[in-house]
Amino acid sequence: MKIEVMVHDITDLDEPIDCIVNAANETLLGGGGVDGAIHRAAGPELLEECRKLGGCRPGEAKATKAYRLKQNHIIHTVGPIYKLCKEIAPEILRRCYQNSLELADQLGCKVIAFPSIATGIYGYPVEEAAEICAKTVASYQSKSLEMAYLCVLPHETRNLEVYKRAFAKYVSK
């Protein structure tokens, strides 16, 4: 699987992408940051579908339609709140990426785009999160996925080099 790290708003990607990953909260009913942006861009139908899912536990992943977005699916995953669970946070974050990749495979997706999960309001240190993301995504043996994007928000460009360095360790040239 090819991997690219880029600065981009995940809700406005021009590349042909089958699914985007939402860094959601446990209710799946929208919130701030990436979660709120995805809910606003997808429209009210997303909220209606998410209400039927019964929430999502940290580390799990659930899929919905993408509605008004260009993609076919949104995979919602809940990262760890770092200060509340530092000891188990790495495993929860690893499972966010792993379970999202597995669900994308089950859906037959060829291209997936991730945000930087849990590094915003959930307070996960970017350097540690980038390492977990890179190691998990780069080592994933996919059935259908051919490409993965890691999208760093335009106002967080300092994180771009952090993720690029992390992926450089695990992605063979």
Q: How far is CA 37 from CA 29, 41, 52, 114, 160, in A?
A: 12, 6, 20, 14, 20
> Is residue 35 annotated as part of the catalytic site, yes or no?
yes
Structure tokens at 144: 């259908």
What's the rounded Cα separation, in Å, for the pair 160 and 33? 17
Please give the Cα distance from 159 to 115 (Å, whole number). Answer: 11
Catalytic residue among 9, 18, 35, 105: 35
| CB-based contact 148:2 (threshold 8 Å) | yes
Among residues 66, 59, 124, the alpha carbon closest in space to that of 98 is found at: 59
End-to-end C-alpha distance for the chain, whole angstroms: 12
Q: Which helix (H) or strand (E) segment is 7 a member of?
A: strand 2-7
Catalytic residues: 35
